[in-house]
Amino acid sequence: MWKKVDIQTDDCNMVSAQAPVIISASRSTDIPTFYADWFVERWKQGYVKWMNPFNGVPSYVAFKNTRCVVFWTKNPKPIMKHLDFLEEHVKNYYFQFSLNDYDKEGFEGKVPRLESRIKTFKALSERIGKERVVWRFDPLILTHHITVDELLCRVKYIGDQLKDHTRKLVFSFADIAIYKKVAKNLNKENINHIEFTEATMHQFTKGLQELNKNWDLEIATCAEKIPLEQYGVKHNKCIDDDLMIELFSDDEVLMDFLGVKFKEATLFEPSNKVQKTKVLKDKGQREACGCIMSKDIGQYNTCPHECVYCYANTSKELALKNYKKHKENQFADTIVGN
C-alpha cells in the first residue's frame, strides 16, 4: 500500500519498511498521553516496529515520507512540552481530542478531572490554533442514570467553554453490542448500559442542534450510518484530506499525494478552487468511516486510561501490565518494548 524504503534498525540490521505519507497516532492507544517521549525519540530514530494484532507478525514503519501526523488523545498535556519539536520536525499535524464528561461515573478511570482537561484543551488550542484541535465527545453512553437530556447538559457545559477554542465537534453513539470485549468489560464493572435507538439518536442530535445555535461549530458523526443532515450534522473524516488541504496546502508533496489540483482565482471566480483527483478512503476501517488512508502506529492493550468502554483493550489489567513493561525500556522501537 505504501512505498518501501530500506532502514537500519537500532540493532544495526537492514530491513525493509513501509514509508507512509500520513501517520495515525493512534486509534489503538493514547500516544500523546502515555508515549509522548517515545514518539519524539522514535521520530528522531526515523522508524517504529509495529506488531500486527491479528497474527503477531512485526513490520517496520519509516517516517522518511511522512507529511502529516494525526494525534488521538484524551490528555495531550504530556506531549505539549514537545510542541517546539513537533513544529520544527513534524510540521503538519493536528489533534483529535476526546473530551467527555463521565467523571461522576468513573468511566474513564485514569483521565484527569474534567476541569483540568478543559484547561489543557484551551492551552493547546491557543498554542497551535483552534482549527488544529478537534473536540470529540466520543462515545455517547446511555445508562439508567445518564439520559439523553443528561448527556446534552454535559455536552453543553463543555461546549460553552470550548466554543472559541475549536471549530468542530465530533460525536458517536456507543456501539456496545458489536464489540464483545466492550460488553464484557461493562458487565464486569456492573454498568447497566442502554443501547441507543434511532429515536434516541434523533432526540440527542436535535438537542445538539439547538445548543449549536450558540456555538456555531461544525458538527459531525464518527463512523455512524444514520443520516442526520437535517440537524446540520455531517459524516466525519477523522483522517481528513479536506482539513489537510485547508491547513497544509503549501506542502506540495502532501497535496500531490492527496491528488489535489488548485485552480487559481480569476476576476470572475475570486477564490481558489480545489479539485481532488484521487479516492483515498481507508479500506481497513468500517464502511461508515470516512477517513482517508493512513498508517496507525499504536498497539492494542497498551492504554492505561482504564476507560470501561474501550474496544482497544481486552482488559485494563493487561493494558497496565503492558504499559509497565514498556516503561522498562521506554525508547524501544515498539510501544510494548519487545
- 174 Cβ neighbours under 8 A, 6+ residues apart: 139, 140, 141, 142, 193, 195, 196, 309
Are β-strands 218-221 and 233-235 bridged in parallel, bridged antiparallel, or unpaired?
Answer: parallel
Contact present, 148 and 200 (Cβ < 8 Å): yes
Contact present, 259 and 276 (Cβ < 8 Å): yes
pLDDT reported for residue 271:
65
Q: Is the pTM of this model over 0.85?
A: yes
C-alpha cell at 115: 476541569
pLDDT reported for residue 133:
98
**143 in helix, strand or coil?**
strand
Residues paired with 135 in a beta bridge: 97, 169
The whole-angstrom separation of Cα 185 and Cα 202 is: 27
The whole-angstrom separation of Cα 198 and Cα 188 is: 27
pLDDT reported for residue 206:
98
The whole-angstrom separation of Cα 244 and Cα 246 is: 5
C-alpha cell at 91: 510540521
Reading the chain (338 residues) residue by residue, the pLDDT tens digits are 899 999 999 999 999 999 999 999 999 999 999 999 999 999 999 999 999 998 989 999 999 999 999 999 999 999 999 999 999 999 899 999 999 999 999 999 999 999 999 999 999 999 999 999 999 999 999 999 999 999 999 999 999 999 999 999 999 999 887 777 788 888 888 888 999 999 999 999 999 999 999 999 999 999 999 999 999 999 999 999 999 999 999 999 999 999 999 877 666 665 668 889 999 999 999 999 999 999 999 999 999 999 999 999 999 999 999 999 999 999 999 998 65
State the angle between helix axes of 114-128 and 148-162 in degrees (0 to 180), rounded to the nearest 10.
Answer: 40
Contact present, 65 and 257 (Cβ < 8 Å): no
Measured between alpha carbons, how far is residue 102 from residues 69, 124, 151 in Å? 28, 22, 10
- Cα angle 242, 246, 249; round to 5: 110
